[in-house]
Amino acid sequence: MIAVGSPPVDGHEPCCDRAEGETRGFHPARCAHTRPAVLASGAALVRALGQRGDGSHPRHGRRCRRRRSDLLGHAAITVDARPEHIWPWLVQMGYQRGGLYSYDWLDRLFGYLDRQSADSLLAQFQQLAVGDEIPIGRGQGFPVTAIEPYRALVLSGSGDGFAWVWQFGLYPVDQTRTRLVSRNRVRVPRTVGSWLFMRAIEPAAFLMTRRMLLGLRHRAEALAVAQGERSSHAA
């Protein structure tokens, strides 16, 4: 099941210690844990959206107002695999790379992909760094703004009055399960046309993201099983 709700602030995951499918309102005072990925994703938000922070800052107590034109999204899923089984699929995403793991026929129809998403790891696409761009066919690519291997990947960009951030976070639940979280924020120009356009594509964006998380889970869990079988045979 995909958990859906408002995106958490400063990289915290509100659902990582709750039953599958539960969501709740988030406030940083409820979470005491932080880590470098939090700082990286927070910095990406600042650069991409041109503000000091997003919501309440747990250290300084500042509160920044969110514009009504901002669009926020948050989806999460529990994966029966460790972060190292999920991460390789994330870093190889993209056009003529690993794909997007969503509805491939739609992505191919609109020119974002030219083939089906990969069901195997591609060694040539396992290196990703800040400043790289994940290509997306005919569309604008996804610039890598911040990265912490096996923990966080932040993509962001701006143009034509829009600014956006897309974050993936990996939060271990226990020794064998991980919470995979997708968060996005889009700053939209203050025009009626832009507002209506973004509201119109929101449902489609949610469905594509949902399918992507399911695709990532399927591949990561298959990889975990395969590696576990190889380890058993080696022993």
Task: Output the pLDDT for position 30.
Answer: 29
Examine the pLDDT at 41 and tell me if it is beyond 60.
no
pTM over 0.75: no
Examine the pLDDT at 147 and tell me if it is beyond 60.
yes
Sheet holding 3-4, edge to edge: 3-4, 70-79, 178-187, 162-172, 152-159, 139-148, 133-136
Higher per-residue confidence, 135 vs 59: 135
The residue written with tokens 């869990």 in the block is 221
Lowest mean pLDDT: which of 50-64, 67-81, 159-173? Answer: 50-64
Average pLDDT over residues 129-150: 92
Task: Output the pLDDT for position 72.
Answer: 77
CA contacts within 13 A on the Cβ side of 123: 0
Average pLDDT over residues 80-98: 96
For each of the domains in the chain, give its residue range(s) and CATH number, in order of start.
3-23+35-230 (3.30.530.20)
Lowest mean pLDDT: which of 31-40, 144-153, 157-166? Answer: 31-40
Kindly tell me the burial class for residue 94, based on how many C-beta atoms sit within 10 Å of its own C-beta (0-12, 13-18, 19 or more). buried
**Cα–Cα distance measured from residue 22 to residue 126, given in angstroms and rounded to the nearest whole number:** 33
